[in-house]
Structure 1
Amino acid sequence: MQSRFKQAALFSIKLLLSIAVLVYIARGLDLQRLRSHLVSVDPLLFVLALSLIFFQTFVLNGRWELIMRALGVSLDWLAGWRILMISLWFNQVLPSSVGGDAVRMWLLRQRGVEWPEAVKGVAADRFTALIGLIALMVAGLPFLLSRVSDHAAILAIGGLTLAGVAGTVILLTLDRLPKRLIAHRAIASFVRFGALVRFLLLQSERRALLFGSALLIHIVTAAACFALARGVGAQLSVVDAGILIPPVVLLTAVPISISGWGVREGAMVACLGLAGVPSEEALSVSLLLGAISVIIGLVGGAIWLASPERGSYSADKAAKAAEEAPGYDGLGKEVSSHP
């Protein structure tokens, strides 16, 4: 009962934060102009953006399949994609304390995958995506310096990028620290996880394909945002989309709101504003991107309704099983943010 109360309280706080941020952003905007952008978006460009995000699910699944194979788990491509789509349903449409990652682990377990491999596979998938995002932000810094004159914004994005690089380097090299410093059980989980990700990216046979897919996923997101921006009449260049959308994605991944709503909108308005995009148009891009995420989630929901596992599913059991799985307490919760 106490656990359910905590879950409800956490969900309520996230919901209130999402609503509060959206209301705060909307206060200073021309709502009629915002509505005009939303209803008059070029349908062809909206469909293009939707197609890109749907295509992204195949790339996501391909990356995850590579990771599972490196862990010695043979995951059928179609089965993996079905599990991934179901997890997006839970993440986007029915946000809860369980989340899509725990559901992914649970579904893997139903297919006979042991908990350690399920946890490692999902967590490594998340962190590999994060590394790809940080790599794009590092590559975009020179362009950011040459195209943006707001020193405070450059400092903020640059600091966020450097923090990401430092965090990644520390995690990947934890096992090189003296044994006495990493002997604690909680730290040991991160040490093993860092060694696993380092192996995947530096030593596995498919490392180039794995890292390339991690980059491609975020490039596709930037391309979808570019299409949506053009669809609402915003003058956003390809280069600006490439350097300003990754920070938006990174901030959206912080699990403090419902499926990133509110945080994504605030970050999109702030970042696209650096390229001269009016707030109403930037917010339209974010809301349309959110709508696309919901549509993709609904596809996952339809797949879930037809799934044989649905009859035996229990949110409480999935959450409890995931929390009891080896390593989940030390790394799963840390990296299971919105993609």
Structure 2
Amino acid sequence: MLRALASLVLLAAVAWWIDPRTLAAAFGAPAPAWLVLALGIGVLQTALSAWRWRLTASRLGAPLGFGHALREYYLASFLNQILPGGVMGDAARAWRHARLPGTASTAAWQAVVIERGAGQLALLLVVIASALASPALQAVPARLGEAADVRGLPWVGALAALAIVGTVLARRARGVLRSLARATRQALLARAVLLRQLLASLLIVASYIAVWLCCMRMIGLATPPAQAAPLVPWVLLAMAIPLSVAGWGVREAAAALVWQAAGLEAAEGVAASVSYGVVVLLSTLPGALALRPRASGAHSAADAAATTSRADAP
């Protein structure tokens, strides 16, 4: 409930900040063909994400059949869109995997944490690379601070409190963290798998950017892709903050700030962000089908597929 309220408050703040007429003008020339392309990229994106999860889980001794992994990833993505926080679907994905016969609960949860972590790491690498490659982008963090007015003692105090809480939790969860570190070395950082993990994660980030650019064309924005593409990862990174429902509000505020900091029209960033949110929701709708009750035979078939995939797991 609080996260839903946060989304509404942030969206209201963006609507108050951006001139409604300017925002409406950004939706001036819709091109539906770009929607079809964006949804097609979304299918490939989900399939590659499911493959990455399957690869990670197999390295931890908790294999999945690809069809089962794809279905579960669609379900998780859909739940992430409709439930607060953006991680509830992933928690459900780990829980459902842990319930499969012969699957260790710890391995199932670690596989999801590592798989999501690999994606965030790749996104961070893209953000850093974009800043290093473009002198104009190197000034964005400072401009963001000025635009958002994030200086001052309240923020310093909040960061200090988070650091203290993090230290306490780390001490109490030392055993869990050690186990996760071992699993990360095995499933993500091992020489046999690192290149595949990195390439898959970078391709997934590239698909996010491609969908965003399609959304811009879909609503008729004429900003050159070469100018907009380096800004998108900055907005996506802000969405990692579990403050809202499916990133709504956080994404729009970040897009407005980043677009303005880059010398572009903030309203265009917000318009692209809203379009992106709608397209992502549409692309996850196949996951709603997984919520339908299935016959016990179907459950058995899925479990058998997951079990027999031990032999052909990547």
For the aligned pair, the TM-score class normalised by the smaller chain equals 0.7 to 0.9
Counterpart among 304, 313, 321 of residue 291 in structure 2: 304
> Residue 123 of structure 1 corresponds to which residue in structure 2?
113
> Residue 255 of structure 1 corresponds to which residue in structure 2?
242
Conserved? CA contact 2:86–2:242, under 8 Å: no
**Gap regions ≥5 residues in structure 2:** 147-167, 300-314
CA distance in 1, matches of 2:135, 2:110: 37
Distance 1:85 1:39, change over 3 A: farther
Aligned partner letter, 2:201: A
Conserved? CA contact 1:225–1:241, under 8 Å: no
> Residue 154 of structure 2 corresponds to which residue in structure 1?
none
Is the aligned partner of 1:216 residue 2:203?
yes
Aligned partner letter, 1:126: R
Counterpart of 1:205 in 2: which secondary structure?
Answer: helix
Distance 1:274 1:193, change over 3 A: same
Conserved? CA contact 2:114–2:188, under 8 Å: no
Deviations 1:83-110 (A, max 9, x none): 1111112111244798112210222133
> Residue 97 of structure 2 corresponds to which residue in structure 1?
108
Is the aligned partner of 1:207 residue 2:194?
yes
1:295-334 alignment, distance < 5 Å: 295-305=282-292, 307-308=294-295
CA distance in 2, matches of 1:49, 1:97: 21
CA distance in 2, matches of 1:150, 1:283: 17
CA distance in 2, matches of 1:37, 1:308: 48
Conserved? CA contact 1:232–1:281, under 8 Å: no
After TM superposition, the score normalised by the length of structure 1 is: 0.73
Distance 1:149 1:100, change over 3 A: closer
> Residue 227 of structure 1 corresponds to which residue in structure 2?
214
Aligned partner letter, 2:120: L
Conserved? CA contact 1:88–1:100, under 8 Å: yes
Quote the offset at 1:154 in angstroms.
7.5
CA distance in 2, matches of 1:207, 1:146: 32
CA distance in 2, matches of 1:272, 1:52: 24
CA distance in 2, matches of 1:144, 1:130: 21
Quote the offset at 1:53 in angstroms.
2.1
Distance 1:237 1:149, change over 3 A: farther
Deviations 1:205-226 (A, max 9, x none): 2321111111111111111111
Quote the offset at 1:74 in angstroms.
2.1
CA distance in 2, matches of 1:65, 1:31: 45
CA distance in 1, matches of 2:135, 2:253: 22
Distance 1:197 1:242, change over 3 A: farther
Conserved? CA contact 1:38–1:288, under 8 Å: no
Distance 1:184 1:247, change over 3 A: same
Aligned partner letter, 2:15: A
After TM superposition, the score normalised by the length of structure 2 is: 0.78
Quote the offset at 1:204 in angstroms.
4.6
> Residue 320 of structure 1 corresponds to which residue in structure 2?
none
Is the aligned partner of 1:25 residue 2:18?
no
> Residue 166 of structure 1 corresponds to which residue in structure 2?
none
The answer to which structure, 1 or 2, has the higher relative contact order (CA under 8 A, 6+ apart) is 2
Conserved? CA contact 1:92–1:294, under 8 Å: yes
CA distance in 2, matches of 1:308, 1:117: 27
Aligned partner letter, 2:175: A
Q: Identity of counterpart residues, as a percentage?
A: 25
Conserved? CA contact 2:3–2:84, under 8 Å: no
> Residue 58 of structure 2 corresponds to which residue in structure 1?
69
Distance 1:58 1:98, change over 3 A: closer
CA distance in 2, matches of 1:146, 1:296: 33
Distance 1:302 1:36, change over 3 A: farther
> Residue 5 of structure 1 corresponds to which residue in structure 2?
none
CA distance in 2, matches of 1:64, 1:151: 32
CA distance in 2, matches of 1:97, 1:261: 10
CA distance in 2, matches of 1:240, 1:292: 22
Is the aligned partner of 1:240 residue 2:230?
no
> Residue 270 of structure 1 corresponds to which residue in structure 2?
257
CA RMSD of aligned residues (A): 2.9
Counterpart among 67, 75, 86 of residue 78 in structure 1: 67
Conserved? CA contact 2:131–2:138, under 8 Å: no
> Residue 78 of structure 2 corresponds to which residue in structure 1?
89
Which one is further off, 258-267 or 184-193? 184-193
CA distance in 2, matches of 1:215, 1:289: 19
Quote the offset at 1:36 in angstroms.
4.8
**Gap regions ≥5 residues in structure 1:** 1-11, 157-180, 313-339
Distance 1:155 1:26, change over 3 A: closer
Quote the offset at 1:29 in angstroms.
2.5
Counterpart of 1:68 in 2: which secondary structure?
Answer: helix
Aligned residues: 276
CA distance in 2, matches of 1:286, 1:115: 37
